Amino acid sequence: MTQATLGARPREWPTARSSRQGILAQFGDGRADLAGWALTTGDPLADAVVEELHSSGHDARAKLHHGIEHGLASVDDPPPGVAALLEQTETAPAYVDDTLLDEASLPFFSAPPPVHIVSLAAGALVRTYQSPSMATVLAMTGRLVDGVPRRLRETGRWVNTAMLPGSLRRGNAGYVATLQVRMMHAHMRRLARRRGYDEAAYGVPVNQVDLARTWMDFTLVSYRAEEIMGFPRTSAELASLYRYWSYVGHLLGVDPRLIEGISGHDDAQRVDDLMQAVTGPAIPETAVLAAATLETIAGTLNEVARVPHGMARQALRALARRFHGNTVLDELGLPGGAVTDALLSPAFHAIRIRRNRLRRDRPPGGKPSRPTSPPRANWPGTSRNRRPTSTPPGPVSNSDSPYDDSRRSNGEDHAGHPGSRSHRQARGGHRSE
């Protein structure tokens, strides 16, 4: 995204997102200006495409779909918005090379799928829902609670697909899935505005602060949660993952000024402090979403690991308190469990010792084994013996299609599913530009 596209606009500071004076005093003029711009800016390129889809109908949708999968050069007479979006996504940042695309995500797979399930739900998503603006947007879908299993399923599939080595090459499964998420956000932005979202209070729906903060949830929050559970990563592994996620952020339309150059938790924390300062207090919908998320994952852990549902619920609440702190969980009305929490420490200690022993036994220079398919994590709504349904991935979902908010493709070739065309091509797509 060019800096011209991301230029500041003279808009009022949202009243429910702290104040410019407070942010100025805490972070200085430059960062306060950036935060103010980010609160009042969505994703101009994707938003323009959504307007084209609604004005031009099937032809624009077909060209967008074709361009995402096959590249801008393959599209005859693309609409201006579609052309601009694809030009931005296909212009890879200078740090993107074959090594990043093929190897930078490998440390992600050093933790097993159940750990990712817990860090995503009790870690990343519980904090994502703490944002009043994100919770408000989800409430406007009309499926605040009954949509939780689907959102978890779609988000888990997207993350697993995007992290596959080679999958972010243009036209491959992770690239396609990530642009679908970006378009989903743009559709949600338009829907929220049409349903009376209060921009004066919260800023633009799914704005740049929301996007950058959610990026932190999938990186800083998730990886720290996995460290707490006994699965730490080395500084080199974290640098590799943050670099990889910088490119994911590029594809998602996150302003590079907010996330690029982050190479470890300390760097991420400095940015996250600013994002948190302008997030605003939680609203009642946040508590509803957090409780429903943990309840859904408790059922998933029962299916995956045969953990009794009640025990899983208590463990997840105890873990969420470790991830986010007692103050946050008290505000959300999620009770703790002293007995369960006391049992977690020795379990995590044993896991950490075993993991350290295994890592010491790895040959010098050895890397985590290269995954050949997305981990079978049994996300909510999928059966252990049934192929997952073909639903577009995305953390914010009201539409049934990534290209418009009223239709869903009935195709069975879900991006990234083992055996699908898109997954078989995960290593053979376009090389980095």
Compare 211 and 375 and report the one with higher pLDDT: 211
Q: Helix 208-216 crosses helix 265-277 at what angle (to 10 degrees)?
A: 140
Percent residues over pLDDT 70 in the chain: 76
**What whole-number distance in Å separates Cα of residue 242 and Cα of residue 260?**
9
**What whole-number distance in Å separates Cα of residue 176 and Cα of residue 169?**
9
Cβ neighbours, 10 Å, residue 363: 6
DSSP codes of every residue in 301-345 = HHHHH---HHHHHHHHHHHHHHHH-HHHHHHTT----HHHHHHHH
Q: Are 56 and 80 in contact (CB under 8 A)?
A: no
Report pLDDT digits (tens) over 100-142: 999 999 999 999 888 999 999 999 999 999 999 999 999 888 7
**What whole-number distance in Å separates Cα of residue 197 and Cα of residue 210?**
15
Q: Show the tokens assigned to 104.
A: 């930078």
Report pLDDT digits (tens) over 380-433: 444 333 333 333 333 333 333 333 333 333 333 333 333 334 344 444 555 444
DSSP SS3 for 6: coil
Report pLDDT digits (tens) over 172-186: 999 999 999 999 999
| Lowest-confidence segment of 14-23, 154-163, 334-343 by average pLDDT | 334-343
Q: What is the pLDDT of residue 148?
A: 87
Q: Are 262 and 268 in contact (CB under 8 A)?
A: yes
**What whole-number distance in Å separates Cα of residue 53 and Cα of residue 328?**
40
